[in-house]
Amino acid sequence: MPWIPTPTDGIAGSETLAAQHEAEQSISSLLTEHLAASADPQLQRDVHTAYLTRLLKAPLPKYFTGLDASRPWILYWAIHSLALLDGELDATAKTRLVDTLKRCQNPDGGFGGGPGQISHLAPTHGMYRFLLSLKQSDGSFIMHEGGEVDVRGCYCALTAAVLLNILTPDLASGTASFIASCQTYEGGLAAAAHPFSHDPSHPAPLGEAHGGYAFCAAASWSMLRVFSDPTSPCFAEAPLDLARAELDVRALMRWSASLQAMPIEGGGFRGRTNKLVDGCYSWWCGGLFPIVDSLIAETDDEPQPERELFDRKSLQEYVTLVAQAPSGGLRDKPGKPADAYHTCYNFSGDSTAQTKLRFSSSRQRQLADSFSSPFGGTIVTEGNQQDVDEEVVVIRGANESDEAAELRMREIYSRTLAWVAEDPKIIVGDPQNELLPTHPLFNITLPLVQSMMAFFYSQRS
């Protein structure tokens, strides 16, 4: 089939166009070879498992010194990739990993990028007092003490708060308004917005819409719906800003769909308008669609027919035909080396393309109805502790009653676990290419999310 290149619009000598055409040529060559071979696309599971195991069990190469402040992330990228492949580490390796992570935690509750490094939201994904210490007056979070503000901070803080059962109204206050202020004219979201002090009525986005920031913002927005959704029983007690903030979800959907690349680029995603395709956006952009679809469904007055918001088959073809590195691991694009980061997010995007997850209101009601009261453990309010009989720790907001806290926990728990897989799955190529589903908000496999929340929400019976 003919691969149609990006038009030049009569511009010659452009570095950007030269890079675009070079990427198109290398990708279309791989696709042409695949068509000529008439073979099913195949994930090299054994090769990738060996690559990931080496990263976790053998000393890392010297060039990893540049990632010294990202040790917890390296572990996550590799472990999550193994989990999607349904792989397993031996007990010795698991113990070593846990010991490494323990050494990264500081007395303030946060985690540094390595032992002895300052606490930072990215490697932490947070603890309650540490999270509150990073909360800003406009609802945003700085990444560390004295650090920068962007929507990654919101995502890291809220992810930890939901999973660990510490998402109080105090922690959520103002954050929805900050997220909405980051939406650009394109419909996507930028890293941040001007502080409200510049112009309280018109906070303007800082920078252009970006796939990674858009995912962090949309997932954060979805986590906050427990307070901002008028159908939620927590809505009446929520801070006013959560009820008033508005995100144009349909504009976000249009922008997200526009980022899937042309056939000559293999069906992957680019992270920004007019940028090169990159395998990591298989997740940052491909993973946006279950979230956006669930948010759109909230606003539909009538049931909608089944809809596909992106080309799920083409994305899988990009991962299997373009992003796989022959020696193991996955890459940005041909000509780039494999690494743990791109391996993780290529696999994650592949997973979300294979298994369509949908937020189920009926499943959410079932989980809410079966939720058992978590009270009976240690109740913590504004830093004060009261020991009760059991081991469970329940953290309340400053002005939250036991009843309101229990209602909030039940709603967060049931909403978070209400994602269900739709049939049929779409597996491109060899049936052995199938990966485990990953949670749309957290990018952790579903059984692990369920186990973690059952523990922290005291739903272990």
| DSSP-derived secondary structure letter, 70 | G
Q: How many CA atoms lie within 13 A of 18 on its CB side?
A: 4
Closest CA to 31 of 56, 3, 50, 55: 3
Largest CA distance in the chain: 75
The two three-digit tokens of residue 122, written as one number:
């990215």
Say if CB 242 and CB 228 are below 8 A apart: yes
Closest CA to 361 of 423, 302, 414: 414
- Amino acid of residue 306: E
Q: How many CA atoms lie within 13 A of 241 on its CB side?
A: 19
The two three-digit tokens of residue 342, written as one number:
């791109």
The two three-digit tokens of residue 20, written as one number:
């675009």
- Amino acid of residue 166: I
| DSSP-derived secondary structure letter, 204 | P
Using a 10 angstrom Cβ sphere, with 0-12 exposed, 13-18 middle and 19 or more buried, the burial of residue 20 is: buried
What is the sign, positive or negative, of the torsion defined by CA atoms of 426, 428, 429, 430?
negative
Say if CB 43 and CB 329 are below 8 A apart: no
What's the rounded Cα separation, in Å, for the pair 391 and 31?
56
Using a 10 angstrom Cβ sphere, with 0-12 exposed, 13-18 middle and 19 or more buried, the burial of residue 234 is: buried
Hey, which residues are catalytic here?
210, 272, 275, 278, 280-281, 332, 339, 342
Q: What is the SS3 assignment for 400-452?
A: CCHHHHHHHHHHHHHHHCCEEECCCCCCCCCHHHCCCCECCCCCCEHHHHHHH
Closest CA to 239 of 129, 413, 397, 125: 397
Closest CA to 439 of 283, 212, 211, 247: 283
The two three-digit tokens of residue 45, written as one number:
């599971």
Q: Distance between alpha carbon 303 and the CA centroid of its chain, in Å?
A: 27
Q: How many CA atoms lie within 13 A of 230 on its CB side?
A: 5
CA angle 343, 349, 352 (to 5 degrees): 140
